[in-house]
């Protein structure tokens, strides 16, 4: 069975708390992660929360990367969703783990749009 896309759900724990609240750093990190994975960046949107935390998304031709941070807990949740076979979402995940100095992390991979032999999802 083939799938239309791959969706990585990334848990980043015990991260550098300062980086988790730095919108400029996070924007650069997510954009770089997309490039590292081989994706084609189309746009981005980020928001700084008060008193702390950042949410952001990078839209790519192949789908998206997004992150939500809780600096007070040293925690970030990231989603990396890619379609097709040309992008390697695992490379983006590895990049984010390194850049955020996550001392602990885990990832779950979901195959999205699983197709049967005839090419339908039903």
102: left (phi over 0), alpha (psi -120 to 50) or beta: beta
Q: What share of the chain is helix, strand, coil (3-state, %, to 5)?
A: 25, 45, 25
Q: Which of 7, 66, 83, 105 is catalytic?
A: 83
Q: Which of 32, 55, 61, 68 is catalytic?
A: 68
Is 66 among the residues known to form the active site? no
Handedness of CA 16, 22, 23, 24 (dihedral sign): negative
108 by DSSP, 3-state: which? strand
Is 15 among the residues known to form the active site? no
Paired strand residues for 6 = 82, 111
23 by DSSP, 3-state: which? helix
Q: Which of 63, 64, 66, 105 is catalytic?
A: 63
What amino acid positions are annotated as catalytic residues? 63, 68, 83
């Amino acid at each position: 069975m083939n799938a239309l896309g791959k969706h990585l759900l990334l848990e980043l724990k015990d991260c550098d708390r300062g980086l988790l609240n730095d919108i400029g750093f996070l924007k650069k990190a997510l954009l770089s992660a997309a490039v590292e994975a081989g994706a084609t960046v189309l746009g981005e949107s980020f928001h700084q929360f008060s008193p702390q935390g950042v949410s952001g998304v990078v839209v790519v031709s192949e789908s998206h990367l997004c992150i939500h941070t809780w600096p007070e807990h040293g925690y970030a949740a990231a989603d990396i969703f890619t379609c097709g076979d040309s992008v390697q979402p695992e490379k983006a995940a590895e990049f984010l783990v390194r850049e955020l100095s996550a001392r602990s992390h885990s990832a779950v991979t979901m195959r999205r749009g699983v197709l049967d032999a005839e090419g339908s999802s039903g």
